[in-house]
Amino acid sequence: MNVKANGTPVRVALMGFGTVGQSVARILCSGEMPGVQLTHIFNRDVERKRVDWVPASVTWTDNADDIVSADVSIVIEVVGGIRPAYDWVKGALQSGKSVVTANKQLMAHHGAELLDIARAKGLEVRFEASVAGGIPVLRALQEGLAGDRLVEVRGILNGTCAYILSRMESESISFADALAAAQKAGYAEADPSEDLDGADAAAKLAIIAAVGLRRPVRVGDIATKSIRPIESVDFMYARELGCTIRQVARASAEDNGEVFAAVRPALVPLSSAFGRVTGSQNLVTVRGVFGGETSFSGSGAGGSPTAVAVVSDVLSIANAGSRPPAAAEPTVYHKVKGDFVAPHYVRFTVNDKPGILASITAAYAKFGINIEGVLQLPKFKRDRLPFVTTLEECPESVLERALAEVAKSDYHVVAPLALPIFG
Amino acid sequence: MNVKANGTPVRVALMGFGTVGQSVARILCSGEMPGVQLTHIFNRDVERKRVDWVPASVTWTDNADDIVSADVSIVIEVVGGIRPAYDWVKGALQSGKSVVTANKQLMAHHGAELLDIARAKGLEVRFEASVAGGIPVLRALQEGLAGDRLVEVRGILNGTCAYILSRMESESISFADALAAAQKAGYAEADPSEDLDGADAAAKLAIIAAVGLRRPVRVGDIATKSIRPIESVDFMYARELGCTIRQVARASAEDNGEVFAAVRPALVPLSSAFGRVTGSQNLVTVRGVFGGETSFSGSGAGGSPTAVAVVSDVLSIANAGSRPPAAAEPTVYHKVKGDFVAPHYVRFTVNDKPGILASITAAYAKFGINIEGVLQLPKFKRDRLPFVTTLEECPESVLERALAEVAKSDYHVVAPLALPIFG
């Protein structure tokens, strides 16, 4: 069904004509990809979207049913969001079309079901563009490192957070100012919650865990923490420790069948690959039992790199032999835990008075947490004094219990901020 | 031929039981790869190679003909060197077996012919492990970025040079001491010429140009320069310029159909991905007309990462549908030029006397080369005084003519060293 027969180009429909969709159309209409032919474009309010550089033979429509019933082999979905994209993708598969999507939320929440439908019909669903934009990391994990057993994935998967945190680092500006700059530069949306609070990275992490670690997890089971409480002073203290701060998504396959998975801001060494990520770059590092560590980095966002990933998936389906239908394998979701065992950085902001450090260290001692050091930089006001304790390795859940005890005291001006330190 | 039928594992023979071969066997015998079965191991003097962790069902042989005639679908070649590996691989293909090889010299010199034979017989030759060890870069270029048109590749492709240059940088030691350290640590062979003088990186660059830029070139046409003339003082001067020194392999597809390709030591910014490569890491950065830059980094050498690449290729063949024989496409080799147009660093080492700078600047002026700056660090002896001129962009060939004129003077203690500066 999907194979080019005697040199006829494979017919392709495009759903969504926003930034990514337009970049996809540009590549498909560039003359560089003779094996595939764009035949349909769907968008709401399609009349205002029409452009003159698309061949006249292309059918424009604002009716999704036109795509589901079209005479095409491959449907590209770059509309985004779970509904109605889910219904359209499912409909396309059920009517015998393979699908290429850039939709991380769709694949994180419904990927297992959609892949099962495709398998049962001998079709394909490909979704390289849903993770890390222009970096072909899913293919690398699934095929390029197939000869290894991957046990850990760490990544900087959200370009908005990467942009904001590296601006805070390099310019010593506040979170609010960095967010405003990101919005102005087009790196953050008007409602940036999905990026800042970790849902975007969690969806990507769920996809990577399923493909790379071969352990599907429910995206809702992944613990996330927001980068919003990070302050400029945290970068000053991090630098004292040879570190900076990044939003890190991390998953590992545990021997007991569970998956450790979490997304949160963390201290990373300035000298590490994670510390060196700047701008809106993405980074994925994987560790296998045989081959050790491999890293992939590149543009994580933007219409063009994402469009390249989409078109590469289209070509991969167009060039592959058709595959026989296969029985759907029931997806087993793995149990997820998110309790980091790591050294920690804890920043307190207090109205200074005698006995504060004593009360904090007493709480740590009560929970068996060892202090590695205390850092207090000069020149802060006494009524809003930030200082930091660094702690030896302990489970995050234990630290949270200790901090809940500390939080009862009246000297806090800002709630304590705990960040794991990744070596 | 290569497909698993009804769950029977695909039979695989291994030629070469050195470091990589043993790592390959370890993975194939680990129980992690149920789809493939190691059935034969070939090595010279095979009796001294036998190990007890390989299943008793495996046939050990020191006769290559036993492999060529064996009942296997895939032959893995990790013997290395062009002959006799070429004859064995060709023989395996002619007797209907697909081939996975880690042999860069074989693929750089005979890849086009071997791929043609495979295509005509509906077989495969895969060679991910021949380039950048554990980083699945060929697959990424060929498939993951298929939706782009790649126009430039830059890489740190030789782990020995990367190790030596980063030791010289971090420890301020001489080339000779760094080479000795590399040999002691197992990162350089007793005869390291192929690594140091660029032939190893040139072979990998030829493979990447054919796969990524889709422009096959003859490896002998790629201009190479050795890293041997680099001295400790060059790192001091490079640092003054915000740079360090790495062996860089670079190829680009020119609009006129030619390929620019060269391997040489170059100055790279300390803050760039190239400047940050340490140890024996590899790095490949590609640029496409649609998607911009993407980078891949990881362990470039070592038995285990290379073995993972080999086994991944084996699985890829084992899992793919068989393909129909196809007409061999005659390989068109592209014309290669290696004349860098770049800013340059030129270090002179002179027995100081009046008029030296005047004679050098006069030669530059004669050839229309603009000087950007002159650097002379204090505390060197006057009878062996190193100083540096930095030059604005000019073709390397023009600079060489100017330096040939300068070289006629009698004040040189060491021949001038010219390195391009990559931005």
Which residue has tokens 């026989």? Answer: A324
Across B188-210, average pLDDT: 93
DSSP B57: T
What pLDDT is attached to residue B300? 60
Is pLDDT of B144 > 90?
no
Across A383-412, average pLDDT: 96
**Which are the catalytic amino acids of A?**
204
Across A317-323, average pLDDT: 78
CB contact under 8 A, B291 and A297: no
What pLDDT is attached to residue A301? 61
CB contact under 8 A, B147 and A27: yes
**Which of A134, A148, A307 has its CB closest to that of B308?**
A148
Is pLDDT of A14 > 70?
yes
Across B187-194, average pLDDT: 89
Task: Assign A300 a pLDDT band (cuts: 50, 70, 90).
Answer: low
Map residue B95 onto helix, strand or coil: coil
Q: How far is A102 from chain B (nearest CA, A)?
A: 14
Whether B297 contacts chain A with CB within 8 A: yes
Q: Strands A243-253, A259-269: parallel, antiparallel or unpaired by DSSP?
A: antiparallel
d(CA B33, CA B39): 14
What pLDDT is attached to residue A1? 38
Task: Output Rg (C-alpha) for chain A, integer angstroms.
Answer: 24
Map residue A54 onto helix, strand or coil: coil
Q: Which domains does chain B have, with CATH numbers?
A: 10-133+305-319 (3.40.50.720), 137-299 (3.30.360.10), 341-420 (3.30.70.260)
**Considering chain B, what is the average pLDDT of its residues?**
92
Which tokens go with A32?
A: 């560089």
**Which of B149, B298, B310 has its CB closest to that of A294?**
B298
What pLDDT is attached to residue A277? 82
Peptide bond just before A84 cis, omega within 30 deg = yes
Q: What are phi and psi of B250, to 5 degrees?
A: -140, 135
DSSP A316-372: HHHHSPP----PPPPP-PPPEE---EEEEEEEEEE---TTHHHHHHHHHHHTTPPEE
Q: What percentage of chain A has pLDDT greater than the value 70?
A: 96
Spatial CB neighbours of B229, under 8 Å, sequence gap ≥ 6: B414, B415, B417
Q: What are phi and psi of B359, to 5 degrees?
A: -70, -35
DSSP B352: -
CB contact under 8 A, B292 and A311: no
Q: What percentage of chain A has pLDDT greater than the value 90?
A: 78
CB contact under 8 A, B148 and A315: no
Q: A230 or A135, which is more confident?
A: A230
Q: Which of A265, A282, A275 is nearest to A340 (CA)?
A: A265
Nearest CA in chain B to A297: B295
The answer to whether B302 and B282 have CB atoms below 8 angstroms apart is no
What pLDDT is attached to residue A257? 87
The answer to whether B354 and B414 have CB atoms below 8 angstroms apart is no
Is pLDDT of A5 > 70?
no
The answer to whether A36 and A28 have CB atoms below 8 angstroms apart is yes
Q: How far is A23 from chain B (nearest CA, A)?
A: 8
Q: Residue A151 burial (CB < 10 Å; 0-12/13-18/19+)? A: middle
Q: What percentage of chain B has pLDDT greater than the value 70?
A: 96
CB contact under 8 A, A310 and B143: no
CB contact under 8 A, B315 and A147: yes
Across B21-40, average pLDDT: 94
Task: Assign A2 a pLDDT band (cuts: 50, 70, 90).
Answer: very low
Task: Assign B3 a pLDDT band (cuts: 50, 70, 90).
Answer: very low
ipTM of the complex: 0.84
Task: Assign A187 a pLDDT band (cuts: 50, 70, 90).
Answer: confident
d(CA B115, CA B133): 21
CA distances from B44 to B49, B50, B95 (A): 9, 11, 22
Is pLDDT of B2 > 50?
no
Most confident of A313-322, B103-112, B323-332: B103-112
CA quadruple B149, B134, B221, B389: dihedral positive or negative? positive
CB atoms within 10 A of CB A214: 13
CB contact under 8 A, B293 and A299: yes
| Alpha helix stretches (DSSP H) within A218-300 | 232-240, 273-276
**Which of A139, A293, A314 has its CB closest to that of B140?**
A139
Task: Assign A358 a pLDDT band (cuts: 50, 70, 90).
Answer: very high
**Which of A148, A292, A308 has its CB closest to that of B147?**
A308
Residues in chain B: 423
Nearest CA in chain A to B129: A144
Is pLDDT of B301 > 80?
no
What pLDDT is attached to residue A333? 87
Q: Which of B97, B121, B204, B225 is catalytic?
A: B204
**Considering chain A, what is the average pLDDT of its residues?**
92
Residue ranges of A 46-65 with Cβ closer than 8 A to chain B = none
What pLDDT is attached to residue A321? 63
| Alpha helix stretches (DSSP H) within B286-374 | 303-319, 356-366
Which residue has tokens 């782009």? Answer: B148
Q: A187 or A55, which is more confident?
A: A55
What pLDDT is attached to residue B1? 39
Residue ranges of A 358-417 with Cβ closer than 8 A to chain B = none
Q: Which of A13, A10, A11 is nearest to A88 (CA)?
A: A13
Across A334-357, average pLDDT: 93
Q: A3 or B336, which is more confident?
A: B336
